[in-house]
Amino acid sequence: MTSLRTQAVSDARTVLHDLWRGGKGWILLTVSAGWFLSIGGRYLYPSVLPFLRQTFGFDLTTAGLLLSALWFAYALGQFPGGLLGDRIGEGNILVISTAICAAAMLLVSVSVTVWMLFLATAAFGFGTALYGPHRFTIFTDIYTDRAGTAVGLTMAFGSIGNTVLPAVAAAIAGYATWRLGFGFVVPLFVVMAVGIWIVVPSRTSTAASEDGDGDDGDAAGASLSAASIRRLLSTVKRGGIPTVVVVHIALAFVSQGFLGFYPTYLIEAKGFSPQLAAVVFGLYFAAGTVVQPLTGMSKDRFGAKWTLALLAGVFFVGLVALQFGQTLPHFLLLTVLLSHRNGVGVVTNTYIADTLPTDIKGSGLGLLRTSWLLIGATSPILVGYLGDLGRLTDAFVVLAGVAGVATLLTLLIPTRSEEAV
């Protein structure tokens, strides 16, 4: 036992040294903190949704449309975000993203009509989308053997944001007003934009300078020529990328419907208070802070196939068992099982970013993320519509079925040895 403990400590020190050396650690911390706000801000919506419905008087279908507007905008911004990052630099696009989020969230907090709320929400979704692809590409640029671990840590920061920010927003909305529940993050976004500008290099990739000084913007991934698009499409058809994308599409569909209405499900189907539902909702992401770094290390060590199969399988089991939960301890345990979904993006995004050529890494990943997020964004509409029919529980059964199919599809992903052949 002593030798195992000593080895574990030694391995942990090696990992931390690899992540921190050469000033990379500050980049990791800053990008992670930005992701803490970016994704945490998006998940303010499910926890504050009951208060929005009370103020604006909309039903569950309209609530689903609001969530879908957020995720449609987030999906549509992925490819432009990746493309612009390839052209003007990954760090620069993160600064722009964070600044847009600050302005959009301010508009959300002062919305007085449903249309204003929808438009501000879409603007926020688009702003966060610009951040999406490059929290992966930056780390595959600066880390050679620890990209999965770095991405896992970054997504763990996001899970902390999803744990803390929705719970704080629900508490503020309950004791003061939902407007402050959104508005309190505005100054945080402003500070974060300045921090990213100071710490993160304007460009981490070498794509723009491989053929010159990098000022002409002629990198293959930075233009929309027919040739570059054909190359991009041919690249994403290689190896295990298509299967990984299909798995992620299915799980994205399940995830958006589940996360968008999990607090509402706990309130309306299980009798929880909004504040308690927000706490259980936060546990999903709190557990993710453990799942995601472990997922990154598992992916680096054992490969994408079996890591993804385990994550999808446990998520599926949690969704099935959710129908039989009755008490708070049941839902706390089930939420921990469901939290394994948090690790899926670590595997799929890192796998794709590692596989794509450097000069089209951002635009390629952005294009793929747009495809799966667009499909995933339709899920809240379906769940909300079924909820208005009094069939919210049935909607969660449908989501469980899709997760089961995704679990089986992971078995088709090639292993490392098969890809090397």
Is 42 contained in some domain?
yes
**Higher pLDDT pick, 301 / 248:** 248
Is 6 contained in some domain?
no
Is 12 contained in some domain?
no
Closest Cα partner for 402 from 355, 347, 341, 360? 341
Indicate if the pLDDT at residue 214 is higher than 50: no
Question: Would you say 42 and 128 are in contact if contact means Cβ atoms under 8 Å apart?
Answer: yes
Tens-place pLDDT, residues 106-133: 999 999 999 999 999 999 999 998 887 7
Is 373 contained in some domain?
yes
Residue linked to tokens 């259980």: 280
* pLDDT attached to residue 14: 64
Tens-place pLDDT, residues 252-263: 899 989 988 998
Tens-place pLDDT, residues 51-63: 998 899 888 899 9
User: How far apart (Å, rounded) are the C-alpha atoms in residues 340 and 186?
Assistant: 30
Is 3 contained in some domain?
no
Tens-place pLDDT, residues 25-73: 788 889 989 999 998 999 899 889 889 988 998 888 999 899 989 988 9
* Number of domains within the chain: 1
Average pLDDT estimate for 173-181:
90
* pLDDT attached to residue 361: 66
User: How far apart (Å, rounded) are the C-alpha atoms in residues 103 and 115?
Assistant: 17
Question: Would you say 105 and 180 are in contact if contact means Cβ atoms under 8 Å apart?
Answer: no
Confidence of residue 421 (pLDDT cuts 50, 70, 90): very low
For residue 92, the enclosing domain spans: 20-204+222-420
Question: Would you say 44 and 164 are in contact if contact means Cβ atoms under 8 Å apart?
Answer: no
3-class secondary-structure state, position 413:
coil
Single pTM value for the model: 0.73
Domain harbouring 285, CATH code? 1.20.1250.20
Is 4 contained in some domain?
no
Closest Cα partner for 287 from 406, 146, 412, 163? 163
Is 141 contained in some domain?
yes
Tens-place pLDDT, residues 304-331: 888 999 999 999 999 999 888 888 999 9
Is 211 contained in some domain?
no
Q: Is the dihedral of CA 206, 233, 67, 406 positive or negative?
A: negative
